[in-house]
Copies of this chain bind each other. A is one copy, B any other.
Amino acid sequence: MSKSPLRLGIAGLGHVGSEVARIIETQGAHLSRRGGRDIVVTAVSARDKNKQRSCKLAGVAWVNNPVELAAHKDVDVVVELIGGSEGVARDLATAALKASKPFITANKALLAHHGVELASLSEKHNVALYCEAAVAGGIPVIKTLRESLAGNAVKEIYGILNGTCNYILTTMRETGRAFADVLADAQRLGYAEADPTFDIDGMDAAHKLAILSSLAFSSPVDLSALAVSGIRNISLADIHFAEELGFRIKLLGVSRQTEKGLMQRVSPYMVPLTEQLAHVEGALNAVFIEGSAVGPLTLIGRGAGAAATASSVLGDIIDAANGGAPPAFGVSVANMKAIKSLPDSDSIGAFYVRLMVADEPGVLADMAAILRDARISIQSLLQKGRNEAGPVAVVFITHDSNEKAMADALAKLGKMPSVLEAPCVIRIL
């Protein structure tokens, strides 16, 4: 090793931060070979100095305010593992880049909200901004889009980006238990947060998709352009109908270049069982990319967990050691081009719809009339069982239809006196 050691300041010593520090402590020789120089943690910041951790941090400086790491004389590279789009994480990012210190983060919220601003700072100060761990845990999708597929025009990217939702949907299907029940279990086991809103309503996946879209389409990160819905309304009945129809329900982030603009959506989707992603189960994540040259490319791996996330952080650290510094989002900010969003009125796709209806004559005829008037044609229809005392499920799959027309038709269907619950609609991939 002729080069001087690379000295890291780590902000945040939760599961991921502790694991990064532990691997650096225990795999030092390996990391030195990969980075061409020693990698050492010289300074850290965390709320509780005395908490039991897996890393030793012998001889490491503790600073009270994480933002001080940016100016710390013994820190060459700042690693931010605190989280949150504002406050300390944002201040630290700004300070590190302004101090021309490479900044490595796992913070998807920070990048989804302030990605362009931080990328500008990194260019202005000629210093790298790395974020592999911000999306899909250990899956190297950031680097793949930023570097490996740089010669491609990406046509479409979609993925299972939230492990909590995938775990819940998989467990519902495998155990036949209801959403609320599985969610409660996941919370008890630590797979879901005490407040699960962020995961199950799709915002976590949206942050990740906004970052991936920018990388895929060389456009500015723009969280506001995404349509977002979650899995709260997915019932066991839908999961069973999906299987019967040859699908599996997954919460997907989908970003697709169409002739009329960029479609970006986080939503439950019916994924055909013939697709690799239909078989990605439990807490795994997966990303599918269709590129103009590479064709279809699928990456599958652990989307969360201390070790898998640490793997991505360490990859970025070794990049910093080797001095690689491509633009954070694949192109410089000046070279980003905003892409018009596809209006819902131009968005086309097939839909699965489940209606709970009173088992009485004429219901189908009324339904069919509403769909006909909205110019939505039905590809297949299932009605299961008979129950004169209560609701029965009527399930249909449409041919390709317009989002707006579908929304209007659903509103009308929901108002039919014989439709006893709000209609459940799931897009088909």
Residue pair A311, B293 in contact (C-beta under 8 Å): yes
State in angstroms the CA–CA spacing of A295 and B284 once bound together: 11
Q: Does A314 sit at the interface, judged by CB under 8 A? A: yes
Contact residues, A322-372 vs B (CB, 8 A): 322-327, 330-332, 335
Residue pair A149, B140 in contact (C-beta under 8 Å): yes
| Stretch from A31-39, A176-184, A416-424 that touches the partner | A31-39
State in angstroms the CA–CA spacing of A296 and B51 once bound together: 30
Q: Does A127 sit at the interface, judged by CB under 8 A? A: no
State in angstroms the CA–CA spacing of A33 and B218 once bound together: 9
**Which residues of B lie under 8 Å from residue A301 when comparing CB positions?**
294-298
State in angstroms the CA–CA spacing of A300 and B331 once bound together: 26
**Which residues of B lie under 8 Å from residue A148 when comparing CB positions?**
132, 140, 143, 311-312, 315
Residue pair B151, A144 in contact (C-beta under 8 Å): no
Q: Does A425 sit at the interface, judged by CB under 8 A? A: no
Closest to A313 in B: B151
Interface size class of A (residues with CB under 8 A): 35 or more
Closest to A32 in B: B335
From the candidates B149, B300, B322, B330, name the one contacting A297 in the complex (CB within 8 A): B300
Listed residue (A30, A152, A276, A310) with the most chain B CB atoms within 10 angstroms of its CB: A152
Given the contacts A34-B330, A138-B297, A276-B300, A23 and B151 also touching, CB distance less than 8 Å: yes
Listed residue (A30, A313, A323, A327) with the most chain B CB atoms within 10 angstroms of its CB: A30
**Which residues of B lie under 8 Å from residue A294 when comparing CB positions?**
138, 301-302, 307-308, 311-312
User: For chain A, what secondary structure do more than half of its interface residues adopt (helix, strand, loop), or is it mixed?
Assistant: mixed
Residue pair B151, A314 in contact (C-beta under 8 Å): yes
Closest to A322 in B: B326
State in angstroms the CA–CA spacing of A325 and B23 once bound together: 25
State in angstroms the CA–CA spacing of A293 and B148 once bound together: 22
**Which residues of B lie under 8 Å from residue A312 when comparing CB positions?**
148, 294
Q: Does A139 sit at the interface, judged by CB under 8 A? A: yes
Q: Does A266 sit at the interface, judged by CB under 8 A? A: no
State in angstroms the CA–CA spacing of A300 and B1 once bound together: 36
Listed residue (A19, A31, A139, A313) with the most chain B CB atoms within 10 angstroms of its CB: A139
From the candidates B153, B279, B305, B326, name the one contacting A30 in the complex (CB within 8 A): B153
Residue pair B33, A335 in contact (C-beta under 8 Å): yes
Q: Does A291 sit at the interface, judged by CB under 8 A? A: yes
State in angstroms the CA–CA spacing of A291 and B276 once bound together: 22
Residue pair A150, B330 in contact (C-beta under 8 Å): no
Q: Which residues of A contact B (CB under 8 A)?
A: 19, 23, 27, 30-31, 33-36, 132, 138-140, 143-144, 147-153, 218, 276, 279, 291-302, 305, 307-308, 310-315, 317-319, 322-327, 330-332, 335
Query: Besides the contacts A33-B332, A148-B315, what 12 more A-B pairs have beta carbons closer than 8 Å?
Result: A30-B153, A31-B150, A36-B327, A138-B297, A143-B148, A152-B311, A276-B300, A292-B307, A293-B314, A298-B301, A322-B324, A322-B325
> Nearest 5 CB-CB pairs, A to B?
A151-B314, A140-B148, A138-B294, A293-B311, A150-B318
